[in-house]
Amino acid sequence: MIVGVAIRNENVMISLPKPARHSDCFKHAQSIGIHKKVVFNMNGDKQGFITDKGRYITRWQAYDHAKRCGQKLIDGPYSRRRFPLCSEDLW
């Protein structure tokens, strides 16, 4: 099950529990002096989710993971129902 959002690079990972969004991770990074354009690029492998086992998975891996776990996806205006998964698809 996916339980939070995360951003990472080679040195740092910032994760927050649901109902946080990826933008909240970027805001937190900036609040502790890390600028997102310098440290975290916007490529999909740098943005992802945290599972209930504490594992980082990318947005692309997250869709399949959520489906395998039986995690309900939200059917709403932001729901893509396809990968890459967004936090708006989950909560």
**Prediction pTM value:** 0.84
Q: 42, 10, 11: which is closest to 26 by C-alpha?
A: 42
Confidence tier at 9 by pLDDT (50, 70, 90): confident
pLDDT of residue 91: 92
Share of the chain above pLDDT 70, in %: 80
Calculate the average pLDDT of the chain. 84
Cross-strand bridge partners of residue 47: 7
27-38: average pLDDT = 79
